[in-house]
Amino acid sequence: MNNPVFAATASAPAQVTDRLGRPLRDLRISVTDRCNFRCVYCMPKQVFGKDYQFLEHKELLTFEEITRLARIFTHHGIEKIRLTGGEPLVRRNLERLIEMLAAIPGLDLTLTTNGSLLAKKAQALKAAGLKRITVSLDSLDDAVFMKMNDVDFPAAKVLDGIAAAAAAGLAPIKINMVVKRGVNDAAILPMARHFRASGHILRFIEYMDVGHTNGWRMDDVVTARQIIAMIDAETPLEAVDPNYRGEVATRWRYRDGGGEVGVIASVTQAFCRDCTRARLSTEGRLYTCLFATTGHEFKPLLRGGASDADIGLAIDTIWHQRGDRYSEIRTAATAPLQKIEMSYIGG
pLDDT tens digit string along 222-232? 999 999 999 99
Residue 231 lies in a domain: no
Sign of CA dihedral 254, 260, 265, 271: positive
Supply the range of the domain harboring residue 80.
26-171+275-345
pLDDT tens digit string along 20-49? 999 999 999 999 999 999 988 788 898 899
Is 276's pLDDT higher than 80? Answer: yes
Number of neighbours of residue 273 by Cβ within 10 angstroms: 12
- Asked whether 259 and 192 are in contact (CB, 8 A), the reply is no
Phi, psi (deg, nearest 5) at residue 9: -125, 175
Is the pTM here over 0.75, yes or no?
A: yes
Q: What is the pLDDT of residue 293?
A: 81
Is 195's pLDDT higher than 50? Answer: yes
Q: What is the pLDDT of residue 82?
A: 97
Q: What is the pLDDT of residue 98?
A: 98
3-state secondary structure 38-53: CCCCCCCCCCCCCCCC
pLDDT tens digit string along 202-211? 999 988 765 5
Q: Which of 121-130, 207-216, 267-276 has the lowest mean pLDDT?
A: 207-216
Q: Which residue(s) pair with 221 in the sheet?
A: 180
Residue 230 lies in a domain: no
Q: How far apart are CA 130 and CA 110, in angstroms?
A: 6
Residue 61 lies in a domain: yes
Residue 330 lies in a domain: yes
Q: What is the pLDDT of residue 137?
A: 97
Residue 203 lies in a domain: no
Is 272's pLDDT higher than 90? Answer: no
Q: How far apart are CA 24 and CA 288, in angstroms?
A: 10
Residue 329 lies in a domain: yes
Q: What is the pLDDT of residue 135?
A: 98
pLDDT tens digit string along 238-252? 999 988 776 788 999
Return the CATH number at 34. 3.20.20.70
Q: Considering the chain, what percentage of its residues have pLDDT values greater than 90? A: 71
Residue 210 lies in a domain: no
Residue 198 lies in a domain: no
Number of structural domains, the chain? 1
Q: What is the pLDDT of residue 197?
A: 79
Helix (H, G, I), strand (E, B) or coil at 126: helix
Mean predicted confidence (pLDDT) in 100-129? 97
